[in-house]
Amino acid sequence: MGLSSFGYHRRSVKNNAHWGMTMINHARATKSLIAFIVTLCSAAVIADDHDEALNLTSISPIHSTNFGIDQGEIEEIKRAMQTAVDGEFLPGALLLVGNSEGVGVLESVGMQGPDDNTPVNKDTIFRIYSMTKPIISVAIMTMVEDGLINLHDPLEKYIPEFGNLQVMDQNTGATRPAESSITIENLLTHESGIIQEIFSRDSDLGKMYASELQGDNTAQDFAARLGQLPVHFEPGTAWHYGHSTDVLGAVLEVAGDKTLDLILQERIFDPLGMDETSFWVPVTKKYRIAEAIHGAGMANYTVPRKMLSGGGGLNSTTEDYVRFAEMLLNGGIYRGNRIIEESTLAQMREKKIGDDVSREFFFYGNTGDWGLGFHLQPTTENANGPHNFGWRGIGGTFFAVDEENDFFMIYMEQKRGGPPSPFSANVAQRMVYEAMLN
């Protein structure tokens, strides 16, 4: 009886203990599940908040006096812009000055095109040409951060055709083997020796480029063809504008194992909300494309081609490019999305035209410098800085970021060739700085 009762009691205790542990485990599992669901919901809320922030316009008006610019100065700038329209140098133009707090100056004059009744506005689509280059340079540096690319990598690691590099003598046209490889940094600084025919028409190499680089090629095929041609000088010894950033586009494709448009979409455009920036403009948006009075050679980007030009193939709007410029001013972050580390961006703004690098072909002579993909131009009479950074497009567009004075500016027009205009990106930049410092 006692043993039987004891035996029954032990089984009951054991069963009760098992039931208790089961309930505790269920409770723990339920608690973990709830915590997991809460985490997922929080992440979803954060993602939704980020998406909502990116969907908001990049242009939030603030008073121009935040930038030291008064209404009289704005009117003076706008009158100067209008003279270019009245003189039929430009159909229209737009100027914007902003920072992370908002946009203090947004002035436009004229129409989107000579046969267009639509005023130039923040959503007008411009061929930004070489304002593509800073976007490519930032994409390259994000891959450097990810360990996919090293600045000292020889170019032939990605484009084998550069493995037998030849240098052309500028006086005789004779070629000799290069002493060193082109590096990724050489491409970013335009010290690769790769030129471009329109910037070196009279040179033997420029003429060779004109005859050998015809046709529509993919970015990688174009880079491969360049690799079979000589360079203008020993890599790292001089600065010369050219197809270096087109080659960087091909490097991005090889390192990222995707086409350039997809790489830019993932690394730059989607995180910034730049949904109007692309290599090709849908025909349904053709009515928004800015056209020029003087527009020699301006491409029709509603017709897709094989070539995705990292050197000058993108189209964009002011509203979109504000996002990129603001990200640069904010040290690599835009509305909670980090595109590039602040330290990497600081590295991109370091002067790279050393004393041993020739400035013979540098656009600004002995003034300013060049970083990893950006111009560096002094903002005062002191040639040593501070500097703003940015770049321009051959179709008249321009942007600059000035960390010292906490602003960026964007100027949009479409003009290529024709008589010199009384208003241009250079005049816009000068007048903005004069207004600020007045």
pLDDT digits (tens, 9 = 90+) for 327-375: 999 999 999 999 999 999 999 999 999 999 999 999 999 999 999 999 9
Write out the E strands in 216-326. Answer: 314-316
pLDDT digits (tens, 9 = 90+) for 19-70: 444 444 554 555 555 555 545 455 554 555 657 778 899 999 999 999 999 9
Name residue 391's beta-bridge partners.
399
Q: Is 10 exposed, middle or buried (0-12, 13-18, 19+ CB in 10 A)?
A: exposed
Question: Closest Cα to residue 414, out of 391, 400, 401, 397?
Answer: 397
245 contact partners, CB below 8 Å, separation of at least 6? 130, 132, 133, 136, 137, 187, 310, 311, 312, 373
pLDDT band at 322 (very low <50, low <70, confident <90, very high): very high
How far, in Å, CA of 212 to CA of 243, rounded? 14
Q: Convert the pLDDT of each residue in 278-298 to its tens digit.
A: 999 999 999 999 999 998 779
Instruction: Give the span between the Cα atoms of 414 and 128, in whole angstroms.
Output: 9
Decide: residue 22, CB within 10 A, 0-12 exposed, 13-18 middle, 19+ buried: exposed
Instruction: Answer yes or no: CATH 3.40.710.10 is held by domain 64-148+267-437.
Output: yes
pLDDT digits (tens, 9 = 90+) for 130-180: 999 999 999 999 999 999 999 999 999 999 999 999 999 999 999 999 999
Please report, for the chain, the start and end positions of each structural domain, with discontinuous segments joined by +: 1-55, 64-148+267-437, 155-251
Residue 16 has pLDDT above 90, yes or no: no
Distance between CA atoms of residues 280 and 419, nearest Å: 29
Q: What is the SS3 assignment for 130?
A: coil
pLDDT of residue 12: 40
Looking at residue 10, what is its pLDDT? 33
The pLDDT of residue 91 is: 98
* Helical axes 132-145 vs 318-329, angle rounded to 10°: 40
When the pLDDT of each residue in the chain is averaged and rounded to a whole number, the result is 91
Report which DSSP code applies to 421: P
Q: According to the model, what pLDDT value does residue 299 have?
A: 87
pLDDT band at residue 315 under the 50/70/90 scheme: very high
Q: What is the DSSP string of 345-398?
A: HHHHTS----TTSB-TT-TTTTS-EE-SSSEEEESSS-TT--EEEEEE-TTS-E
- Is pLDDT above 70 for 6? no
Helix (H) or strand (E) holding 105: strand 102-110
Length of the chain counted residue by residue: 438
pLDDT tens by residue, 368-409? 999 999 999 999 989 888 999 999 999 999 999 999 999 999
Distance from the Cα of residue 325 to its chain's centroid: 8
